[in-house]
Chains A and B, each alone.
Chain A
């Protein structure tokens, strides 16, 4: 069964540094999402991406965040200048069609020191 994969599994960075989180979606899936989960809290939506552009973003997704599909397959989330409060688990998700179920990757744990 196809799976969503994410790299790295754990990223440790210094405050102010840039990080790029990578996701390899299930092939043929057209809708892409990033979510984050601060330790012990609920899963929060960050951004959705369809047809090579952002379709929706949350208040969390400010100018420090960006997403792209650099090579038409990988889906990346970039944080330009990390803050302590960016420490969280970041999940990539995707789905085939608009009304289909979202499937999640295993997550990347980001620790900002």
Chain B
């Protein structure tokens, strides 16, 4: 069974600050997939990024970057130069090759002008 832990319940920042969201996962699978989804106040779930267990290369996509470290079972996500529109709940999730997404509890990000 997979488990995802997001220890941060809420993070408040002022616009243009960077914000890093922590995610720790547990799995016994050798192949697995990790995701970040964003849930803005409107309620939908928006896919942001995905990482496969066999690819530890970290990347930057616009203002988003992520740090995947198998040694610590962490998949952290950073928003650079935050904007008010980044205010949302961010969910980390994992899955094995076939099945359901296992979500963390989510981290509320509040960006104030």
The chain A residues found within 8 Å of chain B, CB to CB, are 33, 35, 41-45, 48, 55-56, 58, 89, 91, 93, 98-99, 101-107, 109
Contacts and interface: CB of A to CB of B under 8 A. Distances in A.
B88 interface: no
Interface of B: 33, 35, 37, 43-47, 50, 91, 93, 95, 97-106
Given A42-B105, A42-B106, A99-B33, A104 B98 contact: no
Given A56-B99, A98-B97, A104 B45 contact: yes
Given A101-B35, A101-B50, A107 B44 contact: yes
B48 to A, nearest CB: 10
A48 B45 contact: no
A109 B44 CA distance: 11
Interface majority SS (helix, strand, loop, mixed), chain A: strand
A107 B39 CA distance: 11
B101 A45 contact: yes
Contacts of A55: 98-99
Contact of B91 (A43, A98, A105, A106): A43
A104 B101 CA distance: 12
Contact of A89 (B43, B91, B100, B104): B43
A89 B44 CA distance: 10
Contacts of B93: 43
B37 to A, nearest CB: 8
Contact of B101 (A98, A102, A105, A109): A102
Contact of A45 (B43, B45, B100): B100
B103 A42 contact: yes
A101 to B, nearest CB: 5
